[in-house]
Homo-oligomer: A and B are copies of this chain.
Amino acid sequence: MTRVGQQVYQHTLANGLVLLAERMDHVRSAAINFLVPAGSAFDPQGQFGVASVLAEMITRGAGDRDSRELSLALDNLGVDRDESVGAVNMRFWGSTLARNVPAALDIYADIVLRPHLPEDELEPVQELALQDIKALEDAPQSKVMVELRRRYYPPPLNKDRRGTAEDIEALTIDAVRAQYTNSVRPNGAILSVAGNIEWEPLKAQVERLFGDWKPGAVAEANPLPHTATSAHIEKDTQQTQIALAFPSVPVTDPDYYNARAAASVLSGGMSSRLFTEVREIRSLCYSVYAFHETFKTQGTMLAYAGTRAKFAQRTLDVMMREFHRLKAGIETDEIDRVKAGLKSSLIMQEESTGARAGAIATDWYYLGRVRPFDEIQAIIDGLTPANIMSYLERCPVRDVSLVTLGPAALTITAEADVEAAVAAADTVAAEEAAKEQAGEPA
């Protein structure tokens, strides 16, 4: 049960492409994770959604293979794969037997460097992108988070990958090709592989495949000045969807793990505060959680709940009260549970090729290095209530952006009033329950 020495390798090609690998001796699989800074943030004005269209087009023929031949080649290797677009990065992900990684990388080099971007595939891809936009209308849980991020984050970080129907419909093949040329570059890109791999042959192959990739000017996703806003989206749903966000610290900040620990005190397990107060004690909703999210430039605390309209204001009040109440103090045993949960997650991550390929790339993207397990473990071990309290003083609950979706709007109760609001609602609920038990209509 001793931790086997971590075997992490790194090499930067002359063109800027960063290759990362983690060798895991006792597995037979490997995962590939390729981040290219070509996410939605770089969608030009009037072309919102072009990054997503490009991510779908880029696999429709590349190198010597047409669209179908590419799919066949990757399926022949048993590659479980996915191409996706985030705010900053376009991501190519594949997982298969370690011995198939070299052949898979040959194909990914074609996809990234030599895509055909054929004109006759544009219309079908546009149609799919429009379907994706329509589907969001039928998924209120997802939609409320999209609408929150749209209002909370500064441009260009606030763009949703789906773009807009108008822009998607107006896209030309030239625009898609221009987006490829302008955004798919080796500088800023990170290719990571984790699993039962051999470093030297991998490095040599990546040099051979990607060494000639030309670097170029790469846009930066610099956030513009912005004031977060709130909104209610009226919709005839059974449940009211509640999503909120307010500023925290980014992953580069020394307080990052204190912020994550604060989120875990609220939402890190079934004994956590939000789960206990909202779900267990008051039965206000089936699903409630808070989490921390980060860009290079900013970190954010977010929270979600979905509940019946008649419970929605009370749910929001309880959530806000719990956020405010953090600064009244955190118990040592709460932090011990947070530590136990974070350690358990870390161990799970160590055992998964997919999780490790993702983690080493993410570390490099944000920090320019891969954090050893022992370093993360030491940070977790070092968490204290005092350090978290000092983070909470630095980043109190303020400038909350609230987006709701459902039959009726909600309001954020002022901090000074929230305790009384929760108490009053609890009293009303207790009275109604007593009446109901006595057989009167509630």
Spell out A's residues near B (CB within 8 Å): 1, 3-4, 25-29, 67-68, 71-72, 74-81, 95-99, 123-125, 127-128, 131-132, 134-135, 137-141, 196, 237-239, 268-272, 276, 279-283, 285-287, 306-308, 333, 336-337, 340-341, 343-345, 347-348, 350-353, 433
Contact = CB atoms under 8 A, between A and B. Distances in A.
Given A78-B340, A276-B71, A351-B351, A239 B26 contact: no
A352 B350 contact: no
Contacts of A237: 137-138
A138 to B, nearest CB: 5
A246 to B, nearest CB: 26
A348 B3 contact: no
Contacts of A28: 1, 3, 347, 350-351
Given A75-B341, A270-B71, A134 B238 contact: yes
A283 B124 contact: yes
B71 A132 contact: no
A403 to B, nearest CB: 16
Interface centre among A97, A99, A237, A307 (most CB of B within 10 A): A97
Contact of A78 (B1, B68, B308, B343): B343
Nearest to A73: B271
Given A239-B135, A344-B78, A344-B80, A67 B280 contact: yes
B75 A270 contact: yes
B337 A128 contact: no
Contact of A123 (B306, B308, B433): B433
A337 B307 contact: no
Q: In the complex this chain forms, how many copies of it are found?
A: 2
For the complex of A and B, the 5 pairs showing the least CB-CB separation, nearest first, are A78-B344, A26-B26, A78-B340, A71-B271, A127-B283
A286 to B, nearest CB: 5
A433 B124 CA distance: 10
Given A3-B28, A79-B344, 4 more contacts: A1-B28, A1-B99, A77-B340, A80-B341
A307 B131 contact: yes
A75 B331 CA distance: 14
Contact of A269 (B75, B286, B307, B345): B75
B140 A97 contact: no
A75 B139 CA distance: 31
Contacts of A123: 283, 433
Contact of A74 (B74, B96, B270, B348): B270
A44 B341 CA distance: 38
A78 B341 contact: yes
A206 to B, nearest CB: 21
B306 A135 contact: yes
